[in-house]
Amino acid sequence: MAIKNYDELSSLELDTLKEIGSIGTGNAATALSQLIGQQVRIQMPEVRIMGYNEAIEWIGGPEEITAGVLVKMSGQINGIMLSCQQLEFVNLVLRNTLGKEVEDYFGLHEMECSVLIEVGNIMISTFINALSSLADIQIELTVPAFTVDMQGAIMAVPMAQYGGQSDYIMTIGGNFVCDGKEVPCRLLLSPDIRSLNVLLRKLGVSGE
Amino acid sequence: MSKLTIGIADMKMAKGEGMLITYALGSCIGICLYDPKIKLGALIHIMLPINMETGRKSPMKYADTGIRETIKQMEAKGASRARMTAKIAGGAKMFEISGGSLGNIGQRNIESVRLNLKKEGIRLLNEDVGGSVARTLLFDVATGQGCVRSYGRPELIF
């Protein structure tokens, strides 16, 4: 049965989404690992369905500054995919690509930003490619957009986009572990409700 | 001084004194409504321009129903529409995306808030809208003064 809201998802459907998160994040981690020449592991990805304010608390408070790479999906699936890169992650990438670190986000200039965009873009594309071949669906991606700002406002982008449909936001994704240390890089997939139904049907878990 | 935090799609009021705060407005807009005579202030954090939801469970999510409902609640506490003024902040475009309607929500919010304030006969005293920066909005109910905090920009008092 097609769902009308995220909270109607059955436990089988949630497990399926978790599996997608696991495969997608795993592929993204492999891509990251090749880029930075370091071993990267993933933590158990989560599927979370949260109210707006809950989601912002979950990511670490509204005013915290973060770098965000955003890609919009269209085709058989509509949605937004975000890579929220906190300073620890930023420095992990910069250290292993440009051989330098920054003290804060003001230290990011053109070169550093374009590395971060590229890393975000490659991780997102790898995630989406895995999803697309797994479910046999066509997904088109926009060119990545980038900003450094308060993470509350960045998280609000997918919320506002689908806010007319739902009071909740669904995110699928997880953190990385690199060099034995947890690195907070949140890869977040937020599909709209219609696309979620398409996805679950294609994967054969929505009984119709 | 008491501090009240307003989440997304939320509204809070304070009378006499108190600081109303809403964090990280991106394309969302924070609307301060104020009756200076009785020092009654309200801060709304809206996310979208027009309420087309059936059931209308969260009026504060939208500019039109948010403004209307807040004025009603302020009037119930003794505020007068003729004295009421507004200050707004937000409506930024966080990401520059080629193709797609993604970036326009901020602009549509700004237009809807201005239109609805006009429709309700509320004077818009000051605004800090548009651009591409996130804003945290503070509103001091004792003085009616607003303050906008952004990343990489000096604080703005309005």
To the nearest whole angstrom, how far is the Cα of A31 from the nearest Cα of chain B? Answer: 24
* Of residues A53, A63, A146, nearest to B7 (C-beta): A53
Check residue A52 and give its pLDDT.
85
- Report how many domains make up chain B: 1
Q: Are B32 and B87 in contact (CB under 8 A)?
A: yes
Check residue A194 and give its pLDDT.
85
The CATH number for B66's domain is 3.30.1330.200
For residue A169, give the H/E element and its range: strand A168-173
B26 contact residues in A (CB cutoff 8 A): 149-150, 152-154, 156-157, 160
Q: Does the pLDDT of residue A1 top 60, yes or no?
A: no
Q: Which residue of B has its CA nearest to A160?
A: B47
Check residue B102 and give its pLDDT.
57
Contact across the interface for B61 and A72, Cβ inside 8 Å: no
Q: Which two tokens stand for residue B51?
A: 């309420």
State the ipTM, two decimals: 0.86
Q: Which residue of B has its CA nearest to A82?
A: B95
From CA B135, how far away is CA B119, in angstroms rounded? 26
Average pLDDT of the segment spanning A155-165: 82
B96 contact residues in A (CB cutoff 8 A): 145
- Examine residue A1 and state whether it is found in any structural domain, yes or no: no
Q: Which residue of A has its CA nearest to B95?
A: A145
A63 contact residues in B (CB cutoff 8 A): 23-24, 136
Active-site annotation holder among B6, B13, B25, B28:
B28
Average pLDDT of the segment spanning A163-187: 77
Q: Which two tokens stand for residue A40?
A: 């990267």
Query: pLDDT above 70 covers what percent of chain A?
Result: 98
SS3 of residue A184 by DSSP: coil
Chain A contact present for B100, CB below 8 A: yes
Helix locations, chain A, DSSP H: 11-36, 52-59, 87-97, 110-135, 151-162, 193-202
Domain limits at A150?
6-202
Angle B141-B144-B146 from CA coordinates, rounded to 5°? 100
Contact across the interface for A142 and B133, Cβ inside 8 Å: no
Contact across the interface for A145 and B10, Cβ inside 8 Å: no
- Examine residue A82 and state whether it is found in any structural domain, yes or no: yes
To the nearest whole angstrom, how far is the Cα of A179 from the nearest Cα of chain B? Answer: 31
- Examine residue A207 and state whether it is found in any structural domain, yes or no: no
Contact across the interface for B95 and A159, Cβ inside 8 Å: no
B99 contact residues in A (CB cutoff 8 A): 142
| Residue A58 backbone phi and psi in degrees, to 5 | -60, -40
Domain limits at B135?
3-157
* Of residues B23, B95, B135, nearest to A70 (C-beta): B95
Chain A contact present for B47, CB below 8 A: yes
- Report how many domains make up chain A: 1
* Active site annotation includes B28: yes
Label residue A25 by pLDDT band (50, 70, 90): confident
- Examine residue A151 and state whether it is found in any structural domain, yes or no: yes
Contact across the interface for A149 and B25, Cβ inside 8 Å: no
* Each residue's pLDDT tens digit, A31-87: 988 988 888 888 887 788 888 888 888 888 888 899 999 999 988 888 889 988 888
- pLDDT (tens, 9 = 90+) of chain B, 158 residues, equals 789 999 999 999 999 999 999 999 999 999 999 999 999 999 999 999 988 776 667 889 999 999 999 999 999 999 999 999 999 999 999 888 766 555 588 999 999 999 999 999 999 999 999 888 999 999 999 999 999 999 988 888 98
Close Cβ partners of A129 (under 8 Å, ≥ 6 residues apart): A27
* Of residues A146, A147, A156, nearest to B28 (C-beta): A156
Q: Does the pLDDT of residue A102 top 80, yes or no?
A: yes
Report in angstroms the alpha-carbon separations of A107 from A100, A110, A126, B45. 11, 10, 28, 32
Q: Which residue of B has its CA nearest to A162?
A: B48
Check residue B103 and give its pLDDT.
58
The CATH number for A25's domain is 3.40.1550.10
* Count of residues making up chain A: 208
Chain A contact present for B104, CB below 8 A: no
Q: Does the pLDDT of residue A182 top 90, yes or no?
A: no
Check residue A124 and give its pLDDT.
92
Q: Which two tokens stand for residue B38?
A: 């009785």
Q: Which two tokens stand for residue B102?
A: 């993604």
Q: Are strands A176-178 and A181-183 parallel, antiparallel or unpaired?
A: antiparallel
